[in-house]
Amino acid sequence: MRRLFFIIQKEFIQIFRNKAILPMMTVLPIIQLIVLSYAANNEVRNVDIAIVDQDHSSYSRLIIGKIQASDRFTIVEAPLSAKRGDDLLQSGGADIILTVPPAFEKDFLREKTADLQMLVNAINGQQAIVGAAYLGQIIQSFNRELMADAAPRLAAIRTSPQPRIDITYSNWYNADLDYKTFMVPGILGELVTILIMVLSAMNVVREREVGTIEQINVTPIRRWQFILGKMLPFLFIGLTLLAVGLTAGKLIFDIPTEGSLWVVFAFCLLNLSVVLGMGLLISNLVDTQQQAMLIAFFFIIVFVLMSGLFTPIESMPEWAQYLAVPNPIAHFVSVMRQVLLKGSGFADVQYQFVVTGFMSLVFNALAVWSYRKRD
């Protein structure tokens, strides 16, 4: 244990002596958390829409007014012809073209039905789906107002009540549908994991480059003591970074903490042991810090894109879902969201603990095995 203590002491001295690492571990993650939480937003706003009004009636002016009042749409043009609307859609000048046909108001009053045409630019599938859904809600509201307004003038009078189904709903866990509430816990888990993985991946190879690894190799330190001594300081740094990030998330974004923070920190400790094992394994196998950075970023990009941070893992192909099982960021993001937003306990995230614990044993065993003492 005394040897282990000296290794840990040496690591802390090296960390605090490096003036570039301290801001990287404290200031930069907080800045990234703030910037990414505001920028990584799947809410669709400022959808450019062009309205081809061929009716010029009170009803067409009413629907145009409702669209103008919405903060989701920006009316870029009101072309007089459908051909001009098609040109705008093809050139990218508009995301949606809404066409009000001639005699729209007359058909509605006479036939009790009328048609509107919606053309959507679906190059960006998500924006197309969400933008069309927003416009559909406006049209439904407009339709209800028309029915109420036209009821006295409709010739057919209903003599019996029409059957109908009413739906009521409530939003759980994120009642205000605030996207930052959904993203901040996941982004925080991602930042902690990435930072610790990058630092650990450059750790041993940096010692090899500066020449201090030879001094360690001639000591009676065992391989497991060396690897454990490298891990423990970064575990402490990772837990500190998580605490600072949770505090910043609460103060800046008012992120709820419905569950136990003990579960969050316990899983963070286990998850970081996996990441440190991977980082130290990479550091043992490469010769330069540049090689370590390239390999680490290769895994980081795959882990982030397949972590469920931006797209649900359940929506991925089945083979991709299997590849997400050994992804430490995916498990961290899931646990952060479940515990902080839903109030899940240990029993609810037990699967993540088991899988992560198994990965920790595997990668740390490989890290110890791959470290070779050379005299």
Question: What tens digit of pLDDT does each residue of 23-79 get?
Answer: 777 777 788 888 887 776 666 778 888 899 888 888 888 888 888 888 888 888 888
User: Using N-to-C axis directions, what is the helix angle for 179-201 and 328-337, rounded to 10°?
Assistant: 150
Of the candidates 153, 188, 212, which is a domain's last residue? 153
Q: Is residue 21 part of a domain?
A: yes
Q: E-strand spans in 109-254?
A: 117-120
pLDDT for 217 equals: 64
pTM of the model: 0.74
Instruction: Supply the CATH number for residue 143's domain.
Output: 3.40.1710.10
Q: Is residue 322 part of a domain?
A: yes
Say whether both 257 and 292 belong to one domain: yes
Say whether both 275 and 291 belong to one domain: yes
Rg (CA), the chain: 29
Contact 309, 187 (CB under 8 A): yes
In the chain, DSSP finds a helix count (H) and a strand count (E) of 16, 4
Say whether both 51 and 35 belong to one domain: no
Contact 116, 49 (CB under 8 A): no
Say whether both 139 and 203 belong to one domain: no
Question: What is the Cα 273 distance to its own chain's centre?
Answer: 23
Q: How far, in Å, CA of 214 to CA of 218, rounded?
A: 7
Q: For the chain, how many structural domains are there in total?
A: 2
User: Using N-to-C axis directions, what is the helix angle for 350-370 and 328-337, rounded to 10°?
Assistant: 150
Q: Is residue 216 part of a domain?
A: yes
Say whether both 319 and 344 belong to one domain: yes
Q: Is 230 exposed, middle or buried (0-12, 13-18, 19+ CB in 10 A)?
A: buried
pLDDT for 262 equals: 94
> Nearest to residue 306, comparing CAs of 322, 319, 318, 324?
324
Q: Is residue 310 part of a domain?
A: yes
Q: Is residue 232 part of a domain?
A: yes
In which band, very low, low, confident or very high, does the pLDDT at 215 lie, cut at 50, 70 and 90?
Answer: low
Say whether both 364 and 216 belong to one domain: yes
Say whether both 61 and 135 belong to one domain: yes
Say whether both 13 and 135 belong to one domain: no
Say whether both 65 and 33 belong to one domain: no
Say whether both 62 and 113 belong to one domain: yes
Q: Is residue 358 part of a domain?
A: yes
Say whether both 108 and 128 belong to one domain: yes
Average pLDDT of every residue of the chain: 81
Q: Could you list the residue range(s) of the whole structural domain that residue 110 is in?
A: 47-153
Q: Is 193 helix (H, G, I), strand (E, B) or coil?
A: helix
In which band, very low, low, confident or very high, does the pLDDT at 335 lie, cut at 50, 70 and 90?
Answer: very high
Say whether both 228 and 296 belong to one domain: yes
